[in-house]
């Protein structure tokens, strides 16, 4: 077990419930269990101390980076307080951290997220993993990893019918085939300028501007990406003008977006 004492800006509920990830769930005691990079771990939070139930090796090689623990979010929040609305949103969302997720999982997850709500997104992803992921035994329970693009690329639309993901099934398979074949290299996208990476992503069948922006932020860790969903559009309409430019939050527009999303959805 790794204990992070007096960690700055790391709230488990806010981080896991802000719409950026879909495989973390809390029990009645507030203990979160999640699956990422083929590993299952648990986390608890008590009096600003976060306990991560994993080995020291896994913490150093996976989770320290995954939870973005080297970035000072307190300073970023101060920088984002450009007006009264953002002062309220950053204060309300304090504790959110952008996770450094597996690129393929992020892409596939946000393809599934199109025109969907979070409970249904989570259910589809869980069914996808249970059906096609690799079994992981943790505390005598069965969990499943996120299936690789190679595993999904060989499937048919019929194979995905039990997931009840509708028209998204075709998009999932098309993306899996593109990644598995090397037609698109997700690792290489990280080295491109954001506008070039976005253009490459939008060549994928079923990937529009919003999914591409989500992938830039949550899959490629491009922190200036500013996805616009219904909640963000409502915030812009209510608090800003029609010509609003998220560059006011640069280079952390993506983190600002998370504070705005969480505030609009939960305040």
Domain segments of the chain as ranges: 1-100+232-267, 103-219
Q: How confident is the model at residue 8 (pLDDT cuts 50, 70, 90)?
A: confident
CA distance 260 to 240: 12
Label residue 48 by pLDDT band (50, 70, 90). Answer: confident
Could you tell me if 38 and 136 are in contact, meaning their C-beta atoms sit under 8 angstroms apart? yes
In angstroms, the CA 217 to CA 99 distance is 9
pLDDT band at 5 (very low <50, low <70, confident <90, very high): confident
Mean pLDDT of the chain: 94
Split at pLDDT 50, 70, 90, the class of 6 is: low
Secondary structure letter of residue 147 according to DSSP? P
Task: Yes or no: say if 176 and 152 are a contact pair by the CB < 8 Å rule.
Answer: yes
Q: Which fold, 1-100+232-267?
A: TATA-Binding Protein (3.30.310)
**What pLDDT, in 10s, does the model give residues 72-96?**
999 999 999 999 999 999 999 999 9
The per-residue pLDDT for 28 is: 92
Number of helices (H) and strands (E) in the chain: give both, helices first.
15, 7
Choose which CATH entry (1.10.287.110, 1.10.340.30, 3.60.21.10, 3.30.1490.20) describes domain 103-219.
1.10.340.30
How far is C-alpha 175 from the geometric centre of its chain's CA atoms? 18
pLDDT digits (tens, 9 = 90+) for 91-138: 999 999 999 999 999 999 999 999 889 899 999 999 999 999 999 999
Instruction: Pick 220 or 46 by higher pLDDT.
Output: 220
């Amino acid at each position: 077990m790794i204990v992070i004492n007096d960690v700055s800006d790391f709230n488990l509920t806010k981080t896991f419930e802000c719409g950026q990830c879909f495989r973390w769930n809390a029990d009645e005691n507030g203990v979160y269990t999640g699956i990422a990079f083929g590993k299952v771990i648990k986390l608890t939070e008590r009096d600003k101390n976060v306990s991560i139930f994993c080995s020291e090796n896994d913490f150093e090689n996976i989770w320290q980076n995954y939870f973005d623990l080297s970035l000072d979010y307190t300073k970023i929040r101060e920088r984002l307080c450009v007006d009264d609305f953002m002062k309220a949103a950053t204060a309300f969302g304090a504790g959110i951290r952008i996770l450094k997720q597996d690129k393929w999982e992020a892409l596939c997850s946000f393809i599934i997220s199109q025109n969907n709500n979070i409970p249904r997104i989570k259910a589809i992803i869980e069914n996808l993993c249970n059906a096609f992921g690799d079994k992981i035994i943790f505390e005598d329970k069965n969990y499943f990893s996120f299936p690789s693009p190679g595993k999904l690329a060989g499937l048919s639309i019929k194979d995905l019918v039990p997931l009840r993901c509708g028209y998204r099934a075709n998009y999932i398979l098309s993306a899996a085939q593109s990644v598995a074949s090397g037609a698109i290299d997700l690792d290489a996208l990280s080295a491109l300028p954001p506008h070039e990476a976005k253009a490459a992503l939008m060549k994928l069948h079923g990937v529009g501007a919003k999914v591409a922006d989500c992938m830039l932020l949550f899959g490629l860790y491009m922190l200036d990406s500013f996805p616009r969903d219904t909640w963000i559009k409502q915030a812009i309409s209510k608090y800003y003008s029609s010509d609003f430019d998220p560059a006011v939050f640069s280079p952390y527009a993506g983190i600002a977006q998370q504070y705005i999303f969480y505030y609009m959805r939960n305040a």
